[in-house]
Amino acid sequence: MTDAVTMARAAIDAVHRRDPEVHDGIPDELAYADAVEAWLLRLHPAADPVLRLAARAQHLERWSLPRTSYPADRAGYLRWRTEQYRRQGALAARLCREAGIAEADALRVEALVAKARLREVDGQAIEDAACLVFLDRELAGFAAGHPDYDAARYVAILAKTLRKMSPAARDVALGLPLPEAFAALLRSAAATLRT
């Protein structure tokens, strides 16, 4: 199993390295995979190798299906996201099979990457890690891209993010060393979950 996992990981990362968006010499998708896996291990130090592969494959080849290829409305976003999940899951499973991962484990990776197991423990673990990556690494960039959003809209977005997370991961999120403006919005979002 170890050799197959190593080969699957290398195959997944080879796809990540093709991401045309590069910052500080690292393809964005590879940096994202590293961050999701790091948060997964921080929250679940005993995460098994197959779960770690699924965590690394969350944005697998996301760049190849731009958001702009779908209508800019909510329905277009949902169709784009669903297709991303399906494509990413299928590709991750294929790479796992080609590396020698057992069929049951390849199917597990596919389901986790395709967000088909969100209500299960492993699916929640990956969702927690992905949400923490957004809050920790991507929130500032998201805000810079949406200067027209007011505080109420940010609170609603952050509340949606927190709702996806387990209570333990929410506690971690509220302890992130965010700039005070973002931390205050996150606290406001958390308060809406308690009402």
CB 109 within 8 A of CB 53: yes
| Look-up of token digits 């592969």 | 53
pLDDT value of position 103:
98
CB 35 within 8 A of CB 56: no
CB 21 within 8 A of CB 28: yes
Which candidate, 93, 31, 17, 99, places its Cα nearest to that of 61? 17
pLDDT value of position 2:
77
Which residues of the chain register pLDDT less than 50? none
CB 17 within 8 A of CB 30: yes
pLDDT value of position 195:
58
pLDDT value of position 34:
98
**Which 8-state DSSP code applies to residue 26?**
E
| Pairwise CA distance, residues 152 & 156, whole Å | 6
pLDDT value of position 181:
94
Token couple for 81:
């996201």
- pTM across the whole model: 0.93
Token couple for 164:
């996806």
Integer angstrom CA distances of residue 70 from 21, 75, 82, 145: 20, 9, 12, 19
Residue 183's SS3 state is helix
pLDDT value of position 173:
98
